[in-house]
Amino acid sequence: MRAMAGAAPSEPRLRADARRNSEQIRSAAIGAFQGQGLTVPLEKVAQAAGVSKATIFNRFGGRIGLIDAVIEEVVARELFAVIEHTRSVGAVERIAYYLTAIRDLQYRQPAFNDVLLQTYPHSRQLMEICRVGSEANEEFIAAARASGALRPEFTAGDLHALVLDNALALKHGTRPPRDDYDRRTMYLLDGIRGRSAASGGR
């Protein structure tokens, strides 16, 4: 590693071309990560940015640096919004809303699954996102159990496993049509609901 450290380089005055390239790489990375996940070959990102792969190393120090520089826009923002919004949902439907929203994110954003699966454990940012996510899980599970919306034997670990399994399925398998996916989300919800809770429709 030469001199890189964190996000958008700004410490030393960059030359104009370097600044321009940084920006192009950033936005190419956001697009590529969102479309194909965090494991997309850097070569492709470079191509989309109209620069050489080596330039990515010059500007960001490598994949980890690049991820740290854009992960906020790629997934963190959206995830935190989901968590935040979930808190405003009524206690009884909250856990169903949360799981549905998470699964939606997983379906739409391959990068989100890479975060969950901790594909790059060397990125602080990624680990931090995971941590926050785990805490949200526990928060919502506890609340849901208290409200009777969830069957009592269901643990935070169960939720975690549920989501991780889905991440693996989406990552290594063929993604199903959206309506099939959503229907299966319903089965899931019905399987974890407490007896007392009323279902949405069914």
Q: Rule CB under 7 A: which residues touch DNA?
A: 1, 12, 14-18, 21, 39, 41-43, 51-55, 57-59, 62-63
42 binds, among a copy of itself, DNA, none (CB under 5 to 8 A by kind): DNA
Residue of 5, 168, 196, 200 that binds a copy of itself (CB under 8 A) = 168
Residue of 30, 51, 64, 189 that binds a copy of itself (CB under 8 A) = 189
Q: What does the DSSP 8-state code read for residue 150?
A: B
User: Of the listed pieces 5-13, 38-46, 130-138, 190-198, which binds a copy of itself according to CB under 8 A?
Assistant: 190-198
55 binds, among a copy of itself, DNA, none (CB under 5 to 8 A by kind): DNA
Question: φ and ψ at 191, to 5 degrees?
Answer: -80, -20
For CA atoms 118, 124, 126, 129, give the dihedral sign: positive
Q: Is 192 one of the binding residues for a copy of itself (CB under 8 A)?
A: yes
Looking up tokens 């549905």 gives: 100
Q: How many Å apart are CA 84 and CA 87, to the nearest integer? A: 5
168 binds, among a copy of itself, DNA, none (CB under 5 to 8 A by kind): a copy of itself
Q: Is 44 one of the binding residues for a copy of itself (CB under 8 A)?
A: no
Q: How many Å apart are CA 156 and CA 168, to the nearest integer? A: 18
Q: Is 201 one of the binding residues for a copy of itself (CB under 8 A)?
A: no
Length of the chain in residues, anyone? 202
Instruction: Give 64 or 150: the residue with its C-beta nearer to DNA.
Output: 64
Q: Least distance from C-beta 36 to DNA, angstroms?
A: 10
Query: Which three-class secondary structure state does DSSP give residue 107?
Result: helix
Q: How many Å apart are CA 150 and CA 86, to the nearest integer? A: 16
Q: Is 121 one of the binding residues for a copy of itself (CB under 8 A)?
A: no
Q: How many Å apart are CA 171 and CA 115, to the nearest integer? A: 12
